[in-house]
Structure 1
Amino acid sequence: MTRLSRLQYGAALAAGGLAGFAAGYLFYRSVWIALLFSPLGFAAPGWLRKELALWRKRRIALQFKEALQSIASSLSAGRSVENAVASVSDELRTVFPDPRTEMRLEFERIRAGIRNGDNLEACLRAFSDRVRLEEIARFCDVLAIAKRSGGDMVAIVRRTAGAIGEKLEIEREISVMVAQKRFEARIMMAVPFVFMAVLSWAAPDYMAPLHRGTGYAVVTAALMMLAGCIYLIRKWTSFEV
């Protein structure tokens, strides 16, 4: 699970609390009622953690796709599985120049383990446990089965790398296609709040009846329906490929 730094946690908590207070004041025009909405900020760190975890998963999946292509190319050139895996970090330097790139660091660690005499399967299993990506776990399982069964490891690993690489490419294409819909959904979620703010500024007398008596009941009902719509929109647009 992705962990937030103290700065990230504090910023998310403050931003969430401020957003809750602003939403409450915008709809009720009461500081005391708006303060009741401020505790909604405690949900912000959890939301940020999920967003960062999803972003990290997509970033690592893209990097692993490049690593698989490197392994497949090395195997096609006649290298052994161990040498193909050990050379990945060098191949990734041209694609990801940043030395802090996750895949570069992970495959450098695997290469160091292989040079120290560690078993390739154990190195990859530790790699899978650290990264926790489904495709990596699947690749490690196939490699372990191939070694135990005594089959043609080069052919098996090459086919597996190609299949997983194609799956990751399809997932990337789907993510690109739904990105626009997610952006449109975020705009739709923001429109009611902008609409309320504009009306409150441009026509305060028109909005005044909503800020007293039965107007609070109407605003509460509208806010509950809006919260339900936001929940459904996020649920429909936040699926994982």
Structure 2
Amino acid sequence: CAVIFAAGYIFYRNVLLSLLLMPFALLYPRIKTKEIIKKRKNELNLQFREALYSLASSLSVGKSIETAIRDSLKELSIQYPDADTYILIELEQINRRVEMNETIEEALIDFAQRSHLEDIINFADVFAICKRTGGNLVQVIKNTSEIISEKIDTKQEINLLLMEKRLEHKVLNLMPILIVILLSSSAEEFMAPVFSEPAGRAAMTFSLVLFAAAYFISKKIMDIEV
């Protein structure tokens, strides 16, 4: 709210008009929530890959999938000491459901649907088919882990390439505000009509709209999905 008010005051030099912009601050929680969800999905995807490595290792020595999941939970508990780690919570829940005589396929499909991650959903579907038809589970798990690894590596490479552009994006977002502050302090008479005349305020409003549009468009361009 304070940021919106400050930006409004810089562009309008009017407390009332700045207060009228305050409702736009309600958009921030929604934007922040999307960012948090995306971050958590990326973390879960990375942790799921590690779980698949552990599952493949256990299955390759002849263990059942139920036993392999229990062993994976123990191994990952060492790798991720925090009990609130997403994959530990999910594996624990899968184990409980299996102990309650629910099939492993149903437990995995439920996990996949709640994760909203394409890789996990695809894995759960293929896993269910393999269980019904007697397919090679070890190979399926290895293939899935390789696909996820390739996606993660590609995403990391893209992030490295965009790191400099993201810094430029932040600097350019500040430039309009800095220019207005500079002109207001160094050329007060020149900027006075902009803050007092209706045409000037209309121009400032149009500038704010362009500023906001440029911010969201540039952010969307750099948000590359793999």
TM-score for the superposition, normalised by structure 1? 0.82
Q: Secondary structure at the match of 2:21?
A: helix
Q: 1:218 aligns with which of 195, 200, 203?
A: 203
Q: Which residue of 2 aligns with 1:238?
A: 223
1:56-101 alpha-carbon deviations (Å, 9 max, x no partner): 1111111112111211222233323222222211111232111110
Letter in 2 for 1:168: I
Answer whether contact 1:139 1:161 (CA < 8 A) is retained.
no
Letter in 2 for 1:171: K
1:33-54 alpha-carbon deviations (Å, 9 max, x no partner): 1122111112112111111111
Unaligned runs of 5+ in 1: 1-14
Q: Which has the higher contact order (CA 8 A, sep 6+)?
A: 2
Q: Does 1:191 align with 2:162?
A: no
Unaligned runs of 5+ in 2: none
Aligned residues: 225
Bigger mean CA offset, 36-45 vs 151-160: 151-160
Q: 2:38 aligns with which of 54, 58, 71?
A: 54
Q: Which residue of 2 aligns with 1:141?
A: 125
Q: Does 1:30 align with 2:14?
A: yes
Hey, what's the Cα distance between the residues in 2 that align with 1:201 and 1:239?
40
TM-score for the superposition, normalised by structure 2? 0.87
Hey, what's the Cα distance between the residues in 1 that align with 2:209 and 2:219?
15
Shift of 1:211: 1.3
Q: Does 1:66 align with 2:29?
A: no
Bigger mean CA offset, 178-187 vs 36-45: 178-187
Q: Secondary structure at the match of 1:97?
A: coil
Alignment of 1:89-104 (within 5 A): 89-104=73-88
Q: Secondary structure at the match of 2:102?
A: coil
Answer whether contact 2:48 2:87 (CA < 8 A) is retained.
yes
Q: Which residue of 2 aligns with 1:19?
A: 3
Shift of 1:102: 0.9
Hey, what's the Cα distance between the residues in 1 that align with 2:88 and 2:143?
23
Q: Secondary structure at the match of 1:87?
A: helix
Tell me which stretches of 4 or more aligned residues in structure 1 moved more than 6 Å.
none
Q: Which residue of 2 aligns with 1:200?
A: 184
Give the direction of change, closer, same or farther, for the CA distance of 1:202–1:77 in structure 2 (3 Å limit). Answer: farther
Fraction of identical pairs, as percent: 36
Answer whether contact 2:53 2:142 (CA < 8 A) is retained.
no
